[in-house]
Structure 1
Amino acid sequence: MSKTLFKNLELIRKDLHKNFAELSTQEFRTCQKIFDYLIENTDAKISKVGGTGIIATFEGKKKGKTIMLRADIDALPITETNDFEHKSTDPKVSHKCGHDGHTTILLAVAELLTEKPINKGKIVLLWQPAEENGTGAKAVMADKVFKKLNINQVFALHNLPGIPLNKIVYKSGAFTANVRSLIIELNGRTAHAAEPEHGENPALAISEILQFCEKLTEKDVKKDKFFLITPIYSEFGTKDYGISAGSGELHLTIRSWDPKWFDKRVEILQNYLDLIAEKYSLKIKTSWTQEFFSNQNDKNAVKIIKKSAENLNLNHQKLENPFKWGEDFGLFTQKISGAMFGIGSGVDCPALHNPDYDFPDEITETAATLFYKILENAI
């Protein structure tokens, strides 16, 4: 693929950043842009999937495995503070995780597969919606279009600020955390603020729950039993100073490396909530939202990533510890053999989800070329 083509892809990436920052499940214009680009520049069979996702399929002449590569396409509800020309035109939404870049990388792979077909097996490229809220992978996997593909192996990448530009990182087992968010609703009874004893105020219950969460937490990422509870939001009562609060909410995000350990620790927390409900005469209701399964990297898939990086003489390194953030690709690796790897965005690149972050276009060619080599080695 020529340098001119990658320069054109940089313009596309910046156009995505500026004009196509759309929240999870709302990526309608992004979906159409990807569809139109693939129609014009590739010979792939194209289908819409999972609501606002796109699948491009390349059929080889010989029978073989079906290998899937995934990119994510949604943006975040973050106001951008950059002042460059391709700044997001939406004042409340911007690409602060690099999904505009991930999308562009996979467009480059689609063009590579058109220029240099892999004539064995089947290649599936997925532009997945709704990664940020943890609903996209589930929607794709439930879609009849996806079910018919019978995927044998899956790969994905994520750009990583803080790691040298174009450096490839990988590890077997957990690559990202298992993450779920818990909503705790506490219902008691209001009373006069001068006579709180005549009601059930959830304030002390919320305080004790937070203290118990701190005791349950194991923050050391080097330990297999890493378990982190982060308070996200809390509210109780109203701004009526004569009324003792009668209801409240507490929202927590919980993460671990191991889904089974996650469930064991959550069970302890839920049992404690029952005790708190009894102690303070409250009714407590819990619900879960934004679930991200841990990316469990298959060791054979990781070997393919490492071999491909070596084939291309890329700087690469095995990671010691997983990343604490959740990634919706984890649902795929829970069900299908595969792996996620990282590519460095630069030591001085602003962190993911920072308001001044921007995807570094310098890594697009490396990432696309590596993806293509992974396909050659995997098929």
Structure 2
Amino acid sequence: MILGNADLAALVGLRQALHRQPEVSGQEAWTAQAILAFTAETEPDVVVTGLGGHGVALVYHGAAEGPTVLIRCELDALPITETGTQGWRSTVPGKGHLCGHDGHMAIVAGLARLIGRARPARGRVVLLFQPAEEDGSGAAAVLADPRFAQIAPDYAFALHNLPGLPLGQFVVNPGPANCASVGMKMALAGRTAHAAEPHKAITPARALARLIPGLMALGQGGDLTADFRLVTLTHLAMGEPAFGITPGHAELWATLRCLTDDRMAALRAEAVALAESVAAAEGLGLSLSWHDDFAACTNDPEATALFRAALVAEGLPRIAGDGPMRASEDFGRLGATAKSAMAFLGAGEASPALHAPDYDFPDSLLPLGIRAFHRIIRTLLG
């Protein structure tokens, strides 16, 4: 079974409507309702709403017992002003679907149409429209929702569009797919004084001068081997914007990134030890908090083989690719509950990058993603 031209036109219309009305992490109420309205005609056997926030899960039962296969996409957009000029550009100031989640949703909505017209022979299909992927909180919230037990999968699959890869070509490999990452916020507290009397202050200036190179030395990037570690300084603030005050407080934000969760645990411990040591040496109070916490995403060998076989069966092109992404994806937490695989789908070698202000998901990718997922479901569930 394939989707017709009218279906594809409707999916393009959905994708562009979602693009016009982006909602950021935790605020995806309208987006969830738009998905529910579009997929209502598919008559899922179970509809779960408000899952882990604004998440939506559509469940389709097969005639016989069998495994549960979950296909996941993301509801949220980014807090970035779009600069694209297409007719469906964002109408919401300061927000844009600049990571392609609008396209991922349209792919899974198209998959819903196919499954609604022909249920699997056995098992269950769960189509998950997950909230709050961009800040790393959505998958954890979905898993913590007591209703997740009702839809817990045996297999889980997802894809992400990837600029830089040839348009329409897939990459799916076993092992690491996306790095683990976490945001570390360090608040340093001392005492202010007059700028003419810095000796009367407890200033964080020297602490920052030590922390900046010290943190960067903990993770210098390089090749994506098992030992990959990267610390990126993302924000720095000290004191007040005035010339008459010796500052008494500062904040330093950094993103820590590793290929695996165990390496991340070690890097976090080293970063904490450094911050505590420097703050103590400078007589400063230290407050640490953690944000945008993403687990590593690792592809299961069996799930990867199923994805690759689906691409072959559908005649869809697969290339070796460059290995895992440095960027993070919170599918890793969902994937840890099942045999899972994340694939990357080329958005074009000349495409603007993900999170660029002029990025726009190519509509030509919609039928390719639908075919790949549908073939996986047919292989596993008949």
**TM-score bucket of the superposed structures, by smaller chain:** over 0.9
| Greater shift in the superposed pair: 269-278 or 121-130 | 269-278
Counterparts of residues 1-379 of structure 1 (less than 5 Å)? 1-18=3-20, 20-48=21-49, 49-379=51-381
Per-residue deviation, 1:371: 0.4
Q: Output the CA distance in 1 between the equivalents of 2:180 and 2:321.
A: 17
Post-superposition CA distance 1:135-167 (Å, at most 9, x none) = 111111122222122311111100011111110
Per-residue deviation, 1:339: 1.1
Secondary structure of the residue aligned to 1:310 is helix
Q: Output the CA distance in 1 between the equivalents of 2:152 and 2:167.
A: 35
Which amino acid counterpart does residue 356 of structure 2 have in structure 1? Answer: N
Runs of 4+ with deviation above 3 angstroms = 41-44
Post-superposition CA distance 1:255-294 (Å, at most 9, x none) = 1101111111221222122221222111111110110111
Q: Output the CA distance in 2 between the equivalents of 1:88 and 1:331.
A: 30
Q: Output the CA distance in 2 between the equivalents of 1:142 and 1:262.
A: 22
Which amino acid counterpart does residue 251 of structure 2 have in structure 1? Answer: E
Q: Output the CA distance in 2 between the equivalents of 1:54 and 1:266.
A: 33
Q: Output the CA distance in 2 between the equivalents of 1:44 and 1:94.
A: 33
Per-residue deviation, 1:337: 2.0
Q: Output the CA distance in 1 between the equivalents of 2:272 and 2:121.
A: 53
Q: Output the CA distance in 2 between the equivalents of 1:230 and 1:289.
A: 14
Query: Any conservation in 2 of the 1:233–1:252 contact (CA below 8 Å)?
Result: yes
Q: Output the CA distance in 1 between the equivalents of 2:198 and 2:143.
A: 51
Per-residue deviation, 1:43: 4.2
Which amino acid counterpart does residue 138 of structure 1 have in structure 2? Answer: A
Count of aligned positions: 378
Flag structure 1 segments of 5+ consecutive residues without an equivalent.
none
Query: Any conservation in 1 of the 2:224–2:259 contact (CA below 8 Å)?
Result: no
Secondary structure of the residue aligned to 1:240 is coil
Post-superposition CA distance 1:300-354 (Å, at most 9, x none) = 1000011111111111023442101111111112232211111111111111010
Flag structure 2 segments of 5+ consecutive residues without an equivalent.
none
TM-score using structure 2 length = 0.96
Q: Output the CA distance in 2 between the equivalents of 1:312 and 1:86.
A: 31
Query: Any conservation in 2 of the 1:66–1:150 contact (CA below 8 Å)?
Result: yes
Q: Output the CA distance in 2 between the equivalents of 1:47 and 1:75.
A: 21
Q: Output the CA distance in 1 between the equivalents of 2:197 and 2:206.
A: 16
**Alignment RMSD:** 1.3
Residue identity over aligned pairs, in percent, reads 33
Per-residue deviation, 1:56: 0.5
Per-residue deviation, 1:116: 2.6
TM-score using structure 1 length = 0.97
Q: Output the CA distance in 1 between the equivalents of 2:117 and 2:280.
A: 67
Q: Output the CA distance in 2 between the equivalents of 1:350 and 1:341.
A: 20
Secondary structure of the residue aligned to 2:255 is strand
